[in-house]
Amino acid sequence: MNRKQLFSVCISLAMSVLVVFGCKGGTGSTIPTVADLSIEIWDDGDAPYPAGGECVRTINWTFKPVRLTGSSGRSTAFNMQDRQYKSSVQTGDCFYSQSVQDLRAGEWTIEAVGVDDPYASWKTSCSVNLNSEESSVYFVMGMPGCSTTAAHLTP
């Protein structure tokens, strides 16, 4: 066997090992198969801040898988309703957080529909790639879409 053939065999063997035993990232961690999603929702600043200091918002959520890459976790579409009571006394902003655990890694479409005034007509959706064990997505009520960075929070 010449040097070129030996190199080809070594590459084939290395690829087989990666496929059978899993590919590792640069940090030595395996590619995630499930993701826990943290959702932050902020009011757009147009709604009046409540006198009592508590914001009441109800949001209907729909989660739909698009292209999943993981091998375990929730993999079918589902709905949930979330009612939150939170505010920031320091800034006067209304914000909410929600977590969804055990989603199969990959691309998901997330739809949010406001139920309470002043956001009863708010409806938006976006697709996000949940490719890490802890993923985050940010929404601003009254605005379209979402973001995976907090920079989206500036209305």
The C-alpha atoms of residue 23 and residue 4 are separated, in whole angstroms, by 25
Q: Please state the rounded mean pLDDT for residues 47-73.
A: 82
Q: What is the pLDDT of residues 97-133, one digit of tens each?
A: 889 999 999 999 999 998 887 788 899 999 999 988 7
Predicted structure pTM score? 0.71
> Rounded to the nearest 5°, which phi and psi values hold at 144?
-80, 155
Architecture of domain 31-153: Sandwich (2.60)
Q: Return the DSSP state at 48.
A: P
List 3's β-bridge partners, or say none.
Answer: none
Alpha helices in the chain (DSSP H): 3-21
- Give per-residue burial for 78-98: e unless 16+ CB within 10 Å, then b: eeeebebeebeeeeebbbbeb
With 80 as the cut, is the pLDDT of residue 89 above it?
Answer: no
Nearest to 135 by CA among 111, 112, 110, 101: 101
Q: State the CB neighbour count (10 A cutoff) for residue 64.
A: 15
The C-alpha atoms of residue 12 and residue 70 are separated, in whole angstroms, by 25
The C-alpha atoms of residue 115 and residue 95 are separated, in whole angstroms, by 16
With 50 as the cut, is the pLDDT of residue 26 above it?
Answer: no
Q: Are 147 and 154 in contact (CB under 8 A)?
A: no
- Percentage with pLDDT > 70 across the chain: 65
Q: Are 64 and 80 in contact (CB under 8 A)?
A: no
Q: Are 88 and 97 in contact (CB under 8 A)?
A: no
Q: What is the pLDDT of residue 90?
A: 57
- Percentage with pLDDT > 90 across the chain: 32
Looking at every residue in the chain, the average pLDDT score rounds to 75
Q: Which amino acid is at 65?
A: P
Q: What is the pLDDT of residue 76?
A: 97
Q: What is the pLDDT of residue 58?
A: 86
Looking at per-residue pLDDT, the higher value among 63 and 31 belongs to 63
